[in-house]
Homo-oligomer: A and B are copies of this chain.
Amino acid sequence: MVNHKQYHVAVVGVTGAVGQKMLEMLDSIDFPVEKLYPLASKRSAGKKVTFKGEEVEILEAKPEAFEGVDIALFSAGGSVSKQLAHEAVNRGAVVIDNTSAFRMDPDVPLVVPEVNPEDIQKHNGIIANPNCSTIQMVVALEPIRKKFGLGRVIVSTYQSVSGSGNDAVEELKDQSKALLNGEEPETNILPVKSEPKHFPIAFNALPQIDVFEDNHYTFEEMKMINETKKIMNYPELKVAATCVRLPFFYSHAESVYVEIDRDDVSIEDLQNALNDQDGLVLEDDITQQVYPTPLSSEGKKDVFVGRIRKDLDVSSGFHFWVVSDNLLKGAAWNSVQIAQKLIQQEQ
């Protein structure tokens, strides 16, 4: 990548839920974009997107489309990334990939800028953006680990349908309307589009996100477990996850239990440690019913933490509640933050 002050930036999957947010996030921090390359499937080529008030034509995502691109933000599914990321790198781009294609590749750094910004420099052309539910959790875990040590994490998630894309958002709307009218809901997308069975998500909870692995965990659960260890550079950390899809549109919430290395830490100590973390906002005042919710966090870039409690039996144990917009910090904003750090580190 040539170190100019203005960059040629491609967004691959620009018509998707995350792609659209990537444009918003680039705009929101006035990222130095000299030329935008909005890329998508052949079907969308020729349509237009609006960026910084101007209409830009969508081009087909194919190898030649990356000629002249400095930074390519990918969010068009793992198969597109596997097919095109190296083509982009070969043409001189740095790829920031928001799919699971390269996350566990030892040659690819997996980055949350508040946690392991130094890993950005180790890239060989590709930097991976972690899974949405992992990102918001590690932003809360890192300050705890730094200040008190961290031995164990058990998380149960409350994840919105937008994590499955725009089709799932529409499905929740359609099913909700049908059920409120006393009609049978149509089920085509959730829990996993490619799986044989689909169940209603409207007024329901589905304990399956992504396909099942042989060990009975879902791939989403294994992403949370493996990615957390990699981002925190802490392979010995004990992590367990249960991931559940729920009928709300945006933001993921998480009920997190941690065991730290000390048994003399108070709720206030933990609140203070979290409050000092960049990108994290403490919303924890039970006297005023202050705690984050998916609706209260929607459209915001930060990670919100509340409901901090000390375990009543284990003096090193704490419980808390983490919420963040899965399309922003969980995807588009984290990717754009990586791009921002990347150009800062090169200057």
Contact = CB atoms under 8 A, between A and B. Distances in A.
Contacts of A42: none
Contacts of A195: 289
A289 B242 CA distance: 15
Interface string A123-143: 000000000000000000000
Which of A156, A191, A199, A240 has the most chain B CB atoms inside 10 A of its CB?
A156
A321 B158 contact: no
By secondary structure, the A interface counts as mixed
A240 B177 contact: no
A168 to B, nearest CB: 13
Q: Give the oligomeric copy count.
A: 2
A257 B240 contact: yes
A307 interface: yes
A206 B191 CA distance: 22
A83 B288 CA distance: 31
A131 to B, nearest CB: 17
B216 A307 contact: yes
Interface in A269-300: 286-289, 291, 293-296
Interface stretch (A25-33, A60-68, A311-319): A311-319
Interface in A194-227: 195-197, 199-200, 203-208, 212, 215-217, 225
A48 interface: no
Given A156-B255, A248-B247, A240 B317 contact: yes
Contacts of A249: 203
Contacts of A309: 215-217
Interface string A306-335: 111111111001010100000000000000
A136 to B, nearest CB: 14
Contacts of A154: 154, 257
